[in-house]
Structure 1
Amino acid sequence: MGGMDTNDYRTALISGEVRAWLARRQKTQAELADHLGIARSAITRRMKGDRLFSLPELMDVADWLEISLQDLLGPEILGTRKSPRSDLVTTGAREDEWALRGSNPRPMD
């Protein structure tokens, strides 16, 4: 990642994926700006990684390109972080401590 912080790195990955999909679909940044109803300069900032795409924008881009959001983001972006829940559940606990002590194992009616 070099001197880039995590958010800058992710922003750069996302903008790179959008650029790649535009090229695959033979679409221009100007067409994307028109489709999203935003200024071309705003698309330029997003494509350079100076500004984040919002989630609704990414969903709209994927629909417009006729791909899934998963396809648009790609495996590198989607795999950059594992679920935080697994970290929270077991942090500082031994396996024998995971179960609630004194809980009733019978189902409730």
Structure 2
Amino acid sequence: MTIPTAEITENERVGREIKAWLARHSLKQTDLADVIGVAQKNVSRRLRGEIPFRIDELLAITQALDITLGQLLGNDLVNEKNPHLVSGEGSRGQTSGHFVAGDGFEPSTSGL
């Protein structure tokens, strides 16, 4: 009998991959905090999947570790095909929806 594992979010999956890379390079959360320019407590929240890593943070991590984004995130996560509909209310009160690959991978659009 197989016991189903609990489903985890994309953010948690990213955090697990990054934790594994930190361990491979004998790095601590404080080292990662320096790389991405946030407090250690916020690194911890990101690694637990409570808040997503921004794309610029992911790229800074890959640069610091001298690996590709695909290596950092792992093939399963990078190649996954699971878009889901995100709905929201538009500026005129209309409901709209669009497809995204997963939470935490959209670049910031503030200031555009």
Same fold (TM over 0.5): yes
TM-score (norm 1): 0.66
1:50-97: per-residue Cα shift (whole Å, max 9, x none)?
Answer: 0000011001101111111110011110122168xxxxxxxxxxxxxx
Counterpart in the other structure of 2:19: 19
**Identical pairs, percent:** 30
The 4+ residue runs of structure 1 with deviation greater than 3 A are 1-4
Counterpart-to-counterpart distance in 2, 1:22 and 1:66: 12
Give the partner amino acid of 1:12.
E
**Whose strand fraction is larger, Structure 1's or Structure 2's?**
2
Q: Is residue 28 of structure 2 the alignment partner of residue 48 of structure 1?
A: no
Unmatched segments (≥5 aa) in structure 1? 84-109
Counterpart-to-counterpart distance in 1, 2:82 and 2:36: 31
TM-score (norm 2): 0.65
Counterpart-to-counterpart distance in 2, 1:33 and 1:3: 29
Aligned ranges 1:1-109 → 2 under 5 Å: 4=7, 9-81=9-81
**Whose helix fraction is larger, Structure 1's or Structure 2's?**
1
Q: Which structure is richer in relative contact order (CA contacts within 8 A, separation 6 or more)? A: 2
Aligned Cα root-mean-square deviation (Å):
2.1
Q: CA deviation at 1:32?
A: 0.6
Larger Rg: 1
Unmatched segments (≥5 aa) in structure 2? 84-112
